[in-house]
Amino acid sequence: MTLHLHDFDGEYSLTFDAGGLAADAAIAATGHEPNGYFWEGLVRFAWPDLAERLDFDSEAGMFCAVGVLSDLTRLKTAVESVISNPEEVRDIIARAGTSGFDFDD
What does the pLDDT look like over 74-102, one tens digit per residue? 999 999 989 989 999 999 999 999 999 99
Q: For residue 20, what pLDDT band results from cuts at 50, 70 and 90?
A: confident
Q: For residue 1, name the pLDDT band (cuts at 50, 70, 90).
A: low
Domain extents in the chain: 4-99
List, for residues 28-79, the tens digit of each pLDDT value: 999 999 999 999 999 999 999 999 999 999 999 999 999 999 999 999 999 9
pTM: 0.93
Dihedral sign computed on CA atoms, order 19, 23, 29, 34: negative
Query: b or e along 2-24 (b: 16 or more beta carbons within 10 Å of the residue's beta carbon)?
Result: ebeeeeeeeebbbbbebeebebb
